[in-house]
Amino acid sequence: MDVADLTPAQARERFRGGERTPTAGWCKGWTQANLIAVPQELAYDLLLFAHRNARACPLLDVGEPGAVRTRLFPGDLRTDLPGYRVYQDGRAVADTGEVVAEWRADLVPFLFGCSFTFERALLAAGVPVRHLEQGVNVPMYRTNVPCEPSGPLAGPLVVSMRPVPEALVATAIEVSGRYPMVHGAPVHIGDPAVIGIGDLGRPDFGDPVEVREGETPLFWACGVTPQAAVMASGVEFAIGHLPGHMAIIDARDEDYRET
């Protein structure tokens, strides 16, 4: 069965069984989300950080302290993602396939929107999605654009990049702009140096993709931004998804499309 045709429950079962993979292209029509779980004492600051940086951190769902599921993610947040990154004192200390031992009773799980959500709409509009074509993870970059801080949380905006043929740039902007809850339109178009990206070939997260002649790089705000803030702010403990390895939730892409 093509992974595009799986339901979220079927995908979560595969990940629970040990499959580790980026999730772009999985579960056609179903929404993917960024996970960040932080200690309860930091939950207010993160919630306010999300409000203040809503383009990068569109809040889809929040769990109770210690909960391993949320309303939109009726699986087990400790096992049902295809990859996790564990942080201690702001440093990534482990990339792993499950976090049963690491999960703490004081962790509050947050789910933020992910731009994978509008990739089907891009394809339907004739806009190619290079990392899907190449079968790799989407490239993501730290920028020199600071987020608005909240309490101890501060850090750079993280963006995902998709190269788009010049004739289709306007289409890509328009189509993604219809999905404001999953990052919406690009935050930057063109020269990566303007937002502090030195080399597109060396992303901070994910894999590089080919940018062909006549293509313009488009940059979308990315839900890895809270993880960059966890790192920049030296947060004592946090668990995120492994970038590109998303939580697949029981919501439809179309739930997040503006009408």
For the CB of residue 62, give the shortest distance to its own copies in the complex, in Å.
6
Residues contacting its own copies: total by CB under 8 A: 7
For the CB of residue 177, give the shortest distance to its own copies in the complex, in Å.
11
**Residue span binding its own copies (CB under 8 A) among the ranges 40-48, 152-160, 193-201, 224-232:** 40-48
123 binds its own copies (CB under 8 A): no
Which of residues 97 and 177 has its CB atom nearest to its own copies in the complex?
177
67 binds its own copies (CB under 8 A): no
**Residue span binding its own copies (CB under 8 A) among the ranges 41-49, 116-124, 185-193, 234-242:** 41-49
- Interface residue with its own copies among 3, 13, 28, 48 (CB under 8 A) is 48
In angstroms, the CA 182 to CA 147 distance is 17
104 binds its own copies (CB under 8 A): no
- Interface residue with its own copies among 6, 24, 35, 43 (CB under 8 A) is 43
- Interface residue with its own copies among 7, 18, 19, 51 (CB under 8 A) is 51
Which of residues 10 and 40 has its CB atom nearest to its own copies in the complex?
40
- What are 175's two structure tokens? 């189509």
For the CB of residue 51, give the shortest distance to its own copies in the complex, in Å.
6
Nearest C-alpha neighbor of 116 from the set 23, 207, 209: 23
Which residues of the chain form contacts with its own copies (CB under 8 A)?
Answer: 43-44, 47-48, 51, 59, 62
